[in-house]
Amino acid sequence: MTAPGVAERLTSLVGALRAHGMRIGTGETVDAAHAVDALGLADREALREGLAATLLHSQVQRPVFDPVFDLYFPASVGGPRTAPADRDELRDRLAAALADDDTALLGRLAAEAVDGFGAYGSPSGADGWSSYQTLDRLRPQTLFARVRDDVRARGGGAGFDGRLVGDEVRRRIAHFRALVATEARRRVAERRDRDEIARRAVAPTPDRVDFLYAGKAQLAELRRTVQPLARKLATRLAARRRRAARGSIDLRRTLRASLSTGGVPVRPVLRRRRPVRPELVLLCDVSGSVSGFSDFTMLLVQALHDQFSKVRVFAFVNRVDEVTGLLVRGAADPEGLGARIDAEAALTSHHGSSDYGAALGEFALRYGGAVGPRTTVFVLGDARTNHGDPNLPALREITGRARRVHWLNPEPRDLWGTGDSVAPDYAAIAEMRECRNARQLGALVSRLLPV
């Protein structure tokens, strides 16, 4: 028979799933209880699959089911029985586990990480456990280059599959972040009402997902936010334009108007700005992991194109090509944008990694005419040159011609300048800003876009 307490837990689990809108009948609940009897509690993953098989009716319910299951059937109770973690030492062990792709160890490290860095309130954990705080202190994403190089050095990147290592490591880091989130939820649930947490515990909204670590599904979800975001931004831009149009006082016309009041300037006349809309040029790195960021930004700018007199978009990896036309057609099929750019634009020469120096140089040379005193240029990319020449004079030439040049970098600021990043060098010439997620991008765009 079912172990004592399990029936209650099962009923609460079903209750929580129903609160998320799942229709689960009594029949399924009875089946689930039979499943628990047949499988026992010892093998937690078998139990998870058994309950999913009996309670769910489709795969779209699975992302909700898993975190809820973790709360009601937690892997362990309490914190890990280890000494408090030292940050650097934990990062070392994490780097090794990521390089080995040791999933079991990653799970234990997630528990240690939350225990060591996720607590807030005092005594420790009195007010809760935060995955955000854990990840912010531990910064697993900053281990990326180290782990990749480690895997390569150990021969894991020999031959053809060497080029896959980067993306694989990125996926492992994303997986670790998910483990931390699960663990933090579990710790919180131990302190507070589990049912309450189960109802509230939901994944971050798409606009807070890091561009660099967003998976395929998250990017697809992000793309669906382009149109609503564009509408919101258009309203804000219009408001700024109205304010700007009110502009400064036109002294000559104020005086002339004052003649009717005996020379007393009662009503100041404001200078009306010419209704010429600004021009925009986008220069986007579309290689590898940065492409999620670039694709999104290009689609957003395309959705805003009627705010400008002219928008031209250029993409590069190590060569530059204009993709404005592809983007106009891209509005109808946003998923296919990246594929079309890869297929139809000439972006790579003899190798496939980004070369900022070559790309900036070629842009200044071939498309210099696209940039004039009315043009605002946005450069999108992580400024990772793969140790090539950054070609600073080329960027200087572009900033010299343009009205403004803004650089949006999807990497967190404290990574700028590490490894092959020449972000600080470029930042000295063009204003560089961190732009890690759609929320930040929205804020930057509404502030920086010229009106």
Partner 1 sequence: MLFHSVDDVSARLAGTGYLASRAVATTVFLADRLGKPLLVEGPAGVGKTELAKAVAEVAGARLVRLQCYEGVDESRALYEWNHAKQLLRISAGRDETWDEARTDIFGEEFLLPRPLLTAIRGDDPKVLLIDETDKADVEVEGLLLEVLSDFQVTVPELGTVTATRRPFVVLTSNASRELSEALRRRCLFLHIGFPDEELERAIVRLKVPDLDAALTASVVRVVGALRAMELRKVPSVAETVDWARTLLALGAGTLDETVVKDTLGVLLKHQDDVLRASAKLDLDAV
> Which residues form the interface with partner 1 (CB under 8 A)?
23, 25, 27-28, 31, 34-35, 38-39, 43, 45-46, 49-50, 52-54, 56-59, 62, 159-161, 163-164, 167-168, 171, 215-216, 219, 288, 335-336, 338-340, 342-343, 347-348, 350-353
Q: How far is the CB of 90 from partner 1 (least distance, A)?
A: 26
User: What is the number of alpha carbons within 13 Å of residue 176 lying toward its C-beta?
Assistant: 34
Nearest 5°: phi and psi at 279? -110, 150
Residues 118, 187 contacting (CB under 8 angstroms): yes
Which of 15/215 has CB closer to partner 1? 215
Residues 382, 353 contacting (CB under 8 angstroms): no
Which of 51/371 has CB closer to partner 1? 51
Query: How many CB atoms within 10 Å of residue 38?
Result: 9
Q: How far is the CB of 435 from partner 1 (least distance, A)?
A: 21
Q: How far is the CB of 319 from partner 1 (least distance, A)?
A: 11
Which of 119/315 has CB closer to partner 1? 315
Q: How far is the CB of 375 from partner 1 (least distance, A)?
A: 29
Which of 340/374 has CB closer to partner 1? 340
Any residues with CB less than 8 A from the CB of 147 and at least 6 apart, and which? 95, 98, 99, 169, 172, 173
- Which tokens hold the place of 94? 């994490």
Which of 52/443 has CB closer to partner 1? 52
Q: How far is the CB of 157 from partner 1 (least distance, A)?
A: 10
Which of 247/325 has CB closer to partner 1? 325
User: What is the number of alpha carbons within 13 Å of residue 170 lying toward its C-beta?
Assistant: 15
Packing angle of the helix pair 87-100, 131-138 (nearest 10 deg) = 90
For 93-116, letters b (16+ CB in 10 Å) and e give: ebbebbbbbeeeebbbbbbbbbbb
For 179-216, letters b (16+ CB in 10 Å) and e give: bbbbbbbbbbbeeeebbebbeebeeeebeebbbbbbee
Residues 212, 289 contacting (CB under 8 angstroms): yes
Of 60, 33, 61, 187, the closest CA to residue 113 belongs to: 187
Which of 338/410 has CB closer to partner 1? 338
Q: How far is the CB of 38 from partner 1 (least distance, A)?
A: 5
Which of 30/202 has CB closer to partner 1? 30
Cα-to-chain-centroid distance, residue 50: 34
Q: Which amino acid is at 186?
A: R
Q: How far is the CB of 23 from partner 1 (least distance, A)?
A: 8
Q: How far is the CB of 249 from partner 1 (least distance, A)?
A: 53
Which of 354/440 has CB closer to partner 1? 354
Q: How far is the CB of 351 from partner 1 (least distance, A)?
A: 6
Q: How far is the CB of 49 from partner 1 (least distance, A)?
A: 4
Q: How far is the CB of 83 from partner 1 (least distance, A)?
A: 32
Which of 238/339 has CB closer to partner 1? 339
Of 432, 310, 323, 286, the closest CA to residue 376 belongs to: 310
User: DSSP secondary structure string, 46-65?
Assistant: HHHHHHHHHH-SSGGGHHHH
User: Which 8-state DSSP code applies to residue 91?
Assistant: H
User: DSSP secondary structure string, 335-392?
Assistant: GGHHHHHHHHS---SSS-S--HHHHHHHHHHHSGGG--TTEEEEEES--B-TT----H
Q: Distance between CA atoms of 407 and 427, rounded to whole angstroms?
A: 8
Which of 315/371 has CB closer to partner 1? 315
